[in-house]
């Protein structure tokens, strides 16, 4: 065979720069059955994945038999019903202390900062002058047998100093004798009765002195100012209406009376605390006791109040029950038949009326309206009642 014939049987070579032609032989093509098999596999895998998401897993055997509780134990908690209140403080300016004696001041050598009823305020011409607080300022000399409101006020003052005399509008021999003993102990002599010029009237049993003018060597006259007391707390008025810690309770009745916790009508006495001083109140319309005002007045917080812009604002205090009431703490789900502060709980098979004292996210404080002892209350499916009889 010629060389030309052999050359014609050889496969032609691709021309340089030309892309190779695809293999068109049947062995090179993927069979259709392979694609169908792959599709079936993907469909099965997708079905299994969807099934695992939709169908919940079986409950573990350890939990399959667990039941929801139908009763729960109650907690016990004292409740003082503390609320924040505002106080309008009525503060007077200092009170002038006036001399009733004329002469030269011979003592004390140092200005006093505190004056007490029954003690010497100063001496004039070496004669002691006694500071005395009386309900009615004295305005005349008093002798044995004199009577009047001023005598009654003097007797009260002497009794506070320890005199064993009765309340009377008549000056007795025992009262005169007690006064003689008092002023003689301070250095006086030949005292026969109560002389007005032996006394400097004080606005209280104890007063702070803000300014003192009667220094030794100074000349004083009748009616001259010896010194000025510090500002005085004359009165304090309690105002409800501040944000209460117990939002379920009413603020107060129209008469202004402090209300006890609902369900404890006897618990009306409350402790008022202002600047750390405390007193007991039943009615916020009643004047606060003078000893409480003096206690407030003596605190550093009150002095700071006087020297700051806070004096133009309402001071803050608290009211709380003198005797906290005992409450039960239950979950909110234990209550049914709720109407305002009234509700029901179920104890065993009995539905009991209760009063809601305070509700919060951590539990509800209640007072059972009967004497029935309660250790557990029904919850969830354990509650078979929908109301209770009051």
- Classified as helix, coil or strand, 199 is strand
Q: How, if at all, do strands 114-116 and 103-107 pair?
A: unpaired
**Residues 356-378 pLDDT 10s:** 988 888 889 999 988 889 999 99
Polymer length in residues for the chain: 390
Are the C-beta atoms of 317 and 85 separated by less than 8 Å?
A: yes
Beta partners for 350? 347
Rounded Cα–Cα distance for residues 37 and 213 (Å): 116
**Residues 117-141 pLDDT 10s:** 999 999 999 999 999 999 999 999 9
The verdict on pTM exceeding 0.75 is no
On the question of pLDDT at 6 being above 90, the answer is no
**Residues 30-46 pLDDT 10s:** 555 565 556 656 655 56
Q: What are the structural domain ranges in the chain?
A: 71-79+326-382, 83-92+233-321, 100-230
């Amino acid at each position: 065979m010629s060389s030309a014939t052999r050359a014609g049987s050889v496969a032609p070579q691709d021309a340089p720069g030309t892309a190779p032609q695809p293999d068109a032989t049947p062995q090179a093509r993927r069979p259709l059955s392979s694609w169908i098999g792959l599709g079936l596999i993907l469909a099965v895998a997708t079905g299994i994945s969807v099934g695992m998401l939709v169908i919940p897993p079986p409950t573990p055997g350890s939990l399959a038999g667990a039941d929801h509780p139908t009763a729960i134990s109650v907690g016990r908690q004292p409740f003082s019903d503390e609320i924040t209140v505002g106080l309008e403080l009525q503060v007077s300016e200092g009170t002038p202390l006036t001399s009733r004696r004329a002469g030269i001041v011979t003592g004390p050598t140092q200005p006093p900062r505190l004056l007490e009823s029954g003690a010497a305020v100063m001496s004039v011409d070496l004669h002691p002058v006694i500071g005395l607080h009386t309900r009615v300022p004295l305005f005349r000399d008093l002798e044995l047998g004199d009577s009047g409101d001023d005598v009654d006020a003097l007797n009260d003052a002497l009794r506070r100093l320890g005199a064993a005399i009765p309340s009377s509008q008549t000056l007795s021999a025992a009262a005169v004798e007690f006064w003689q003993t008092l002023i003689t102990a301070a250095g006086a002599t030949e005292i026969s009765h109560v002389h007005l010029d032996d006394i400097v009237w004080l606005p209280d049993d104890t007063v702070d002195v803000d300014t003192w003018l009667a220094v030794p060597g100074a000349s004083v006259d009748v009616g001259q100012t010896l010194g000025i007391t510090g500002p005085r707390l004359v009165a304090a008025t309690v105002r409800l209406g501040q944000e209460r810690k117990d939002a379920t309770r009413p603020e107060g009745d129209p008469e202004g009376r402090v209300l006890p916790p609902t369900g404890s009508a006897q618990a009306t006495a409350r402790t008022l605390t202002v600047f750390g001083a405390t007193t007991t109140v039943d009615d916020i319309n009643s004047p606060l006791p003078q000893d409480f005002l003096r206690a407030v007045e003596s605190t550093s917080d009150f002095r700071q109040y006087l020297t700051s812009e806070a004096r133009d604002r309402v001071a803050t205090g608290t009211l709380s029950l003198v005797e906290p009431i005992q409450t039960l703490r239950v979950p909110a789900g234990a209550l049914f038949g709720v109407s305002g502060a009234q509700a029901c709980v179920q104890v065993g098979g009995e539905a009991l009326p209760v009063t809601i004292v305070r509700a919060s996210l951590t539990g509800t404080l209640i007072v059972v309206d009967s004497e029935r002892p309660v250790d557990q209350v029904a919850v969830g499916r354990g509650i078979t009642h929908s109301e209770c009889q009051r």
